[in-house]
Amino acid sequence: MWFKNLVLNRLPEQWAVDPDELEQKLARAPLQPCGGFQMESRGWVCPHEDGLFLYQQHRQWLLALGVEQKLLPASVIRQAAKERGEELVRRQGHPLGRRQARDIKEQVTSELMPRALASRRSIYGWIDPGNGWLVVDAASDAKAEHFLEALRKAQEPLPSWRLETQRSPASAMGQWLLEGDAPGAFGIDQDLELRATDASKATVRYAHHNLEGKEIRDHLAAGKTVVRLGLTWNEKISFVLTEHLEVRRLAFLDLLRRDSESEAQDEDEQFEIDFALMTGELALMLADLVKALGSEKVGR
pLDDT for the residue numbered 153: 94
Judgement on whether residues 40 and 110 belong to the same structural domain of the protein: no
Tell which wins on pLDDT, 44 or 85: 44
Q: What is the pLDDT of residues 255-290, one digit of tens each?
A: 666 666 666 678 888 899 899 999 999 999 999 999
- Given pLDDT bands bounded at 50, 70 and 90, which one contains residue 300? low
Residue-range definition of the domain harbouring residue 247: 169-292
Confidence of residue 78 (pLDDT cuts 50, 70, 90): confident
- For residues 79 and 56, the answer to whether their CB atoms sit within 8 Å is no
Residue among 240, 237, 241, 239 at smallest CA distance from 253: 237
What confidence tens digit (pLDDT) does each residue in 205-215 have? 999 888 888 88
- Answer whether 73's CB lies under 8 Å from 108's CB: no
Mean pLDDT throughout 172-199? 93
Residues 6+ apart with CB under 8 A from 24: none
Mark whether 137 and 174 lie in a shared domain.
no
Tell me if the pTM is above 0.75. Answer: yes
Contact present, 54 and 122 (Cβ < 8 Å): no
Core vs surface per residue 106-132: b (16+ CB within 10 A) or e: eebbeeebeebeeeeebbbbbbbbebb
Domain count, the chain: 3
Residue 300 lies in a domain: no
More reliable by pLDDT, 20 or 255:
20
pLDDT at 20 over 80: yes
Please tell me whether residues 135 and 23 are part of one structural domain.
yes
pLDDT of residue 65: 98
Q: Rounded distance, CA 209 to CA 228, Å?
A: 14
CB-based contact 228:209 (threshold 8 Å): no
**Which tens digits make up the pLDDT trace of 46-62?**
999 888 999 999 899 99
Q: What is the pLDDT of residues 208-245, one digit of tens each?
A: 888 888 889 888 988 899 999 999 999 999 999 999 99
Quick one: pLDDT band at residue 160, thresholds 50, 70, 90?
very high
Top-ranked range on mean pLDDT: pick from 3-7, 94-98, 258-262: 3-7
60, 128: one domain:
yes
Helix (H, G, I), strand (E, B) or coil at 249: strand
Residue 286 lies in a domain: yes
User: Are 18 and 150 in the same domain?
Assistant: yes
Shared domain for 56 and 90, answered yes or no, is: no
Q: What's the chain's average pLDDT?
A: 89
Average pLDDT over residues 193-199: 89
